[in-house]
Amino acid sequence: MAPSSAATAAYELPWVEKYRPTLLDDVVGNVETIERLKVIAKDGNCPHIIISGLPGIGKTTSIHCLAHQLLGDAYKEGVLELNASDERGIDVVRNKIKSFAQKKVTLPPGRHKIVILDEADSMTGGAQQALRRTMEIYSNTTRFCLACNMSNKIIEPIQSRCAILRYAKLRDTEVLARLLEICKEENVQYNDDGLTALIFTCEGDMRQAINNLQSTHSGFGFVSGENVFKVCDQPHPVIVQAIIRACHKCEVDSALEKLHELWDQGYSAVDIVVTLFRVAKTFDELPEYTKLEYIKEIGFTHMRVLEGVGTLMQLAGLVARLCKLHMKPELFKL
Ligand SMILES: Nc1ncnc2c1ncn2[C@@H]1O[C@H](COP(=O)(O)OP(=O)(O)O)[C@@H](O)[C@H]1O
Ligand SMILES: [Mg+2]
């Protein structure tokens, strides 16, 4: 094999890009919101749009899909994309967007040029102010699509000019379905435990789920729970479950033993507290009331850890308090 072709064969596109949907139909989750986008893509009268939501749930993707479906072959000419890595100060907004908005482009009938401002919440207030007038002046030829993590970081006047679409976190089943498709396409060897682990660690972030899938696959060749947690470098929830179970049974010693085990593996207090929280939140063996009490205690500890006291003692204290919740108060009377 010639060296150049060997290099091409070894080169593998990140799966997040390889499996980036190109049609709105392929974007999973947020069904109702995406239905609305599909209607816009079909009818063509695109309002200014803000899509907000957590990272990795398809905001950028759906804006690009929308632009593709609206403009077809004219996409190259008719779209200006500025994302957080581009210079987006006041001058750029004034000049670049203005000259784009004034440019003559042949578009399908009834369509508008589109300016995509990805990660718009990282634009300065001044730049956003410069944008609001521009949006208005050119709105007969140009429409704006903004994506951001938090829509409240966008100034009010822009919000009121836009249709705001909020994307929710993706459901586990939605992430799972996508992962299964990719596994099939890429011939990934996996077991159920591995997929559960991927879904547990990604917390509804599809980008992370796909990245972890690829890392586990290329690192270990097999997607098992064990391997996924090695890749993601998070405490194994099975051990964390054991801690909580022990607390629930008031077995302080065995809970502490498990805690030490995690600590000796090198996990930081934050890693452990965060996993404790997530496990407790979804742990079916706990009655609802206990769950809430546990979450409260874990939350307080999380706060202390973030304030800088991330010691083993801090975590041991948490474990002891969790145990105490079910012990008879008389036992603590002197
Ligand atoms: N809803 C989704 N449906 C299918 N793939 C998705 C979805 N959300 C994210 N992805 C995957 O994650 C990658 C990143 O998505 P992106 O739209 O850039 O996320 P963000 O919401 O942070 O802008 C995409 O390339 C795609 O592979
Ligand atoms: Mg994005």
- Residue spans of the domains in the chain: they are 15-166, 172-232, 237-332
Q: Which of 164, 97, 87, 172 is nearest to 130 (CA)?
A: 97
Predicted confidence band of residue 9 (pLDDT cuts 50, 70, 90): very low
Ligand nearest to the CA of 64: 1
How high is the pLDDT of residue 132? 87
Distance between Cα 49 and ligand 2 center (Å) = 14
Minimum-distance ligand 1 atom for the alpha carbon of 29: 1
CATH topology of domain 15-166: Rossmann fold (3.40.50)
How high is the pLDDT of residue 299? 96
Minimum-distance ligand 1 atom for the alpha carbon of 55: 22
SS3 letters across the chain: CCHHHHHHHHCCCCHHHHCCCCCHHHCCCCHHHHHHHHHHHHHCCCCCEEEECCCCCCHHHHHHHHHHHHHHHHHHHHEEEECCCCCCCHHHHHHHHHHHHHCCCCCCCCCCEEEEECCHHHCCHHHHHHHHHHHHHCCCCEEEEEEECCHHHCCHHHHHHCEEEECCCCCHHHHHHHHHHHHHHHCCCECHHHHHHHHHHHCCCHHHHHHHHHHHHHHHCCECHHHHHHHHCCCCHHHHHHHHHHHHCCCHHHHHHHHHHHHHCCCCHHHHHHHHHHHHHCCCCCCHHHHHHHHHHHHHHHHHHHCCCCCHHHHHHHHHHHHHCCCCHHHHCC
| 172-232 against 237-332: fold identical | no
Ligand 1 within 6 A of CB of 58: yes
Per cent of the chain over pLDDT 90 is 69
pLDDT for 199 beyond 90: yes
Between 207 and 89, where is the model more confident?
207
Between 107 and 11, where is the model more confident?
107
Ligand nearest to the CA of 122: 2
pLDDT in tens, 159-196: 999 999 999 999 999 999 999 999 999 999 999 999 99
CA separation for the pair 138, 132 (Å, rounded): 10
Distance between Cα 18 and ligand 1 center (Å) = 11
How high is the pLDDT of residue 309? 94
What does pLDDT average to over the chain? 90
Ligand 1 within 6 A of CB of 28: yes
Minimum-distance ligand 1 atom for the alpha carbon of 61: 17
What is the arithmetic mean of pLDDT over 45-65? 93
What is the arithmetic mean of pLDDT over 114-143? 89
Ligand 1 within 6 A of CB of 20: yes
Q: For a ligand 1 pocket test, name from 15, 17, 20 the mutation site with the most ligand atoms within 8 angstroms of its C-beta.
A: 20
Ligand 1 within 6 A of CB of 217: no
Ligand nearest to the CA of 167: 1
pLDDT for 237 beyond 60: yes
pLDDT for 259 beyond 50: yes
Minimum-distance ligand 1 atom for the alpha carbon of 170: 1
pLDDT for 298 beyond 50: yes
How high is the pLDDT of residue 88? 80
CATH 3.10.180.10 corresponds to the domain 172-232: no
Residue nearest (by alpha carbon) to ligand 1 atom 4: 27
Rg (CA), the chain: 25
CA separation for the pair 145, 66 (Å, rounded): 10
How high is the pLDDT of residue 93? 83
How high is the pLDDT of residue 10? 54
CA separation for the pair 330, 12 (Å, rounded): 64
CA atoms within 13 A on the CB side of 115: 26
Which CATH number does 237-332 carry?
Answer: 1.20.272.10
Predicted confidence band of residue 133 (pLDDT cuts 50, 70, 90): confident
How high is the pLDDT of residue 274? 94
How high is the pLDDT of residue 3? 43
Ligand nearest to the CA of 54: 1
What is the arithmetic mean of pLDDT over 232-260? 93
Ligand 1 within 6 A of CB of 56: yes
Ligand 1 within 6 A of CB of 27: yes
Tokens 């270990």, located at residue: 220
Q: For a ligand 1 pocket test, name from 206, 208, 212 the mutation site with the most ligand atoms within 8 angstroms of its C-beta.
A: 206
